[in-house]
Amino acid sequence: MEGRLTTAAEPLDILQKIFGFSSFRGLQEDAVSAVMRGEDALVLMPTGGGKSLCYQVPALCRFGMGLVISPLIALMDDQVAGLKQLGVKAAALHSELEADERVRLWEQLRSNQLDLLYVSPERLLTPSLLDVLKGRSLSLIAIDEAHCVSAWGHEFRPEYRELATIKEHFPDVPRIALTATADTRTRDDILSVLHMEKARVFVASFHRTNLFLQAQPKLSETRQVIDALERHMGQGAAIVYCGSRRRTERVAALLREKGFTALAFHAGLSPIEKRALLLRFRSGEPIVVVATIAFGMGIDRPDVRTVIHLDMPASPEGYYQQIGRAGRDGELSHTLLLYGGEAMARARYWLEQSQAPESEKRVMQGRLESMIALTETTGCRTQAILACFGEMLPSPCGHCDNCLHPPATFDGKEAAQKVLSAVYRTGERFGALVLTAVLRGKMTEPVERHALHKLSVFGIGRDRGESWWRMVIRQLIARGAIRLSGEHGSLGLHRETARPLLRGEVPVPLMEDASFKT
């Protein structure tokens, strides 16, 4: 039975009768129309923007079964479960099906009973499935999370590359690629890898008005995280992103000690552990997931009230996608990015040392620098991040940290000279801890051991406290005047950038930390 598929239904009708929504949102209608006409389409919308309906609706309107390629089993199962509840005949074909489920699925497939089939890319290209599909009418082929084709992206999946061949296998079926990754390079990659040069491209605004952005220098990580969770999590969920597996375990344990329900998620968990965690996360209980970026695609709990980054992401694209997991229900949600100067210096250093091809390194460096600039901006943070994606927000958002509390700036010329001299005079061998001790004239063990108290710079910054000097050091790192000089956290000068600052030739506007303002 091909049921509703034979009755060329109107998209709006399907939207209302099956999905229960009164109208399309934003670019959905145009994207749906393009596919209805049989054109290829590329849809770029932020997470939560409503990409799924862009292919689900035309798949149900057009004749034939819709094929959806999706990279994650959890994601597929979710979508299928949701669709089934709406009465849509949907199924997912992937490696974790039980034997009997698999038999039933093939049965449905052979007898033409499915409206929508979700499949992983590596499954799709098996001869047996291709064979069956070629004998079917397909309404469309949707390629979800299409940025996975791009080697520039942060979620590259080699098996997505193989999707280049679907054009040959199904030349007459319209294709619709969807992603929340906004940069133009990824966009171009998707179009060329999938041979979709003629596709209509739909780019939604990435501005999410319900996301309140905030970034703070890391001063007391634990206190800052707990404070943010207490303020913003409410009865919803929270995601805390960390840079490493070990850290996720440690932070989760720490939060549990403080009374939160906190679980760690990272790529090292077994599939069973992952599923169990996802189930709990989706159950709706107030829960904090402390995760690496492996916790990502398919996280569609609507009431994630806050996303916190304990380590600076490598690019604005990744960052925006991660914070995009907050507030999918449209309610006010907060994001907090904690960052530190040493981590910036380290990220730059390792990129410099990397064996990656020069062209790739330059792209990654560009992204890292945009990310660093984003943390230290004194202007509207929402404008700054949207600008990374080529989107100009005409006026400041009015609700990010910088809009609410414009950071005070001061002339840091003299402070910069003192710090840079201290770095230079101490032989570019020490990290921020020793440098601040030298500046403040503190007789610490390393100061004594290396006889740093005999230097002329010892005590030139007695008038200021430890955290104040750290703030200056951090901003000089962000400006590129100070960099990591070795693997052990020692800081050195970046000669070209530091020289005019040392000579006092350029103004050095520095930002007074707003860290403890909220």
Query: What is the binding site for ligand ADP (CB under 6 A)?
Result: 21, 24-25, 28, 45, 47-53, 300, 328
Indicate the residue among 284 and 500 with the shorter CB distance to ligand ADP. 284
Find out whether 400 and 380 touch, Cβ atoms under 8 Å.
yes
400 is in the binding site of which of ligand ADP, Zn ion, none (Cβ under 5 to 8 A by kind)? Answer: Zn ion
Residue 51, binding choice from ligand ADP, Zn ion, none, Cβ under 5 to 8 Å by partner class:
ligand ADP
- Crossing angle for the helix pair 127-134 and 99-110, to the nearest 10 degrees: 30
Question: Of Zn ion, ligand ADP, none, which one sits near residue 396, judging by CB under 5 to 8 A according to partner kind?
Answer: Zn ion
Q: How far is the CB of 143 from ligand ADP (least distance, A)?
A: 13
Q: How far is the CB of 90 from Zn ion (least distance, A)?
A: 41
Handedness of CA 271, 337, 517, 207 (dihedral sign): negative
Smallest distance from the beta carbon of 313 to ligand ADP, in angstroms? 19
Torsion angle, CA of 440/442/448/451, rounded to 10 degrees?
A: 30
Q: What is the closest distance, in whole angstroms, from the C-beta atom of residue 4 to ligand ADP in the complex?
A: 20
**Under a CB-based contact definition with an 8 Å cutoff, are residues 191 and 200 in contact?**
no
Please check whether residue 194 is in contact with residue 164, taking contact to mean a CB–CB distance below 8 angstroms. Answer: yes
Closest approach of ligand ADP to the CB of residue 32, in Å: 10
- Least Å from the CB of residue 300 to ligand ADP: 6
DSSP E strands in 242-394: the ranges are: 262-265, 288-291, 304-309, 333-339
| Edge-to-edge strand ranges of the sheet holding 288-291 | 211-217, 333-339, 304-309, 237-241, 288-291, 262-265
Cβ within 8 Å of residue 231, ≥6 positions away: 334, 518
Sheet holding 175-179, edge to edge: 90-93, 116-119, 65-69, 138-143, 175-179, 41-44, 200-203
Q: Which does 154 bind (CB under 5 to 8 A by kind): ligand ADP, Zn ion, none?
A: none
Which of residues 18 and 478 has its CB atom nearest to ligand ADP in the complex? 18
Residue closer to ligand ADP, measured from CB, 70 or 120: 70
Q: Which residues contact 121 (CB under 8 A, 6 or more apart)?
A: 69, 71, 157, 159, 160, 162, 163
Contact 38, 141 (CB under 8 A): no
41 binds, among ligand ADP, Zn ion, none (CB under 5 to 8 A by kind): none
CB-neighbour burial class of residue 363 (10 A; exposed 0-12, middle 13-18, buried 19+): middle
Report the alpha-carbon distance of residue 196 to residue 176 in Å, rounded.
Answer: 9
Q: In whole angstroms, how close is the CB of 428 to ligand ADP at the nearest point? A: 47
Q: Which of 276, 248, 272 is nearest to 262 (CA)?
A: 248
Q: Which of Zn ion, ligand ADP, none is residue 25 near (CB under 5 to 8 Å by kind)? A: ligand ADP
- Spatial separation of the C-alpha atoms in residues 136 and 509, rounded to whole Å: 65
CB closer to ligand ADP out of 28 and 490: 28
* Nearer CB in complex with ligand ADP: 46/316: 46
Residue 37 binding target from ligand ADP, Zn ion, none, CB below 5 to 8 Å by type: none
List the single partner that 266 binds among Zn ion, ligand ADP, none, CB under 5 to 8 Å by kind. none
Pick between residue 60 and residue 343 the one whose CB is nearest to ligand ADP.
Answer: 60
Nearer to ligand ADP, 47 or 333 (CB): 47
CB-nearer residue toward ligand ADP: 325 or 440: 325
Residues that bind Zn ion (CB under 5 A): 380, 382, 396-397, 400, 403
The residue among 79 and 402 lying less far from ligand ADP, judged by its C-beta, is 79
Q: Which is nearer to Zn ion, 154 or 381 (CB)?
A: 381
| Residue 382 binding result from ligand ADP, Zn ion, none, given CB thresholds of 5 to 8 Å by partner type | Zn ion
Q: CB under 5 to 8 A by kind: which of Zn ion, ligand ADP, none does 380 bind?
A: Zn ion
Beta-bridge partner residues of 373: none
Cα distances (angstroms) measured from residue 444 to each of 347, 387, 447, 458, 491: 28, 45, 5, 12, 18
Least Å distance between CB 24 and ligand ADP?
5
CB nearer ligand ADP, residue 19 or residue 106 = 19
CB of 196 to ligand ADP, least distance (A): 19
Any bridge partners for residue 36, and if so which?
Answer: none
Q: 336 phi and psi, to 5 degrees?
A: -135, 125
Nearest CA to 457 out of 404, 411, 399, 502 is that of: 502
Least distance from Zn ion to the Cβ atom of residue 331, Å: 19
**Contact partner, 21, from Zn ion, ligand ADP, none, Cβ < 5-8 Å per class:** ligand ADP
How far is C-alpha 88 from the chain's CA centre? 31
Report, in Å, the least distance between residue 328 CB and ligand ADP. Answer: 6
- Residue 459 — left, alpha, or beta (φ > 0 → left; ψ -120 to 50 → alpha)? left
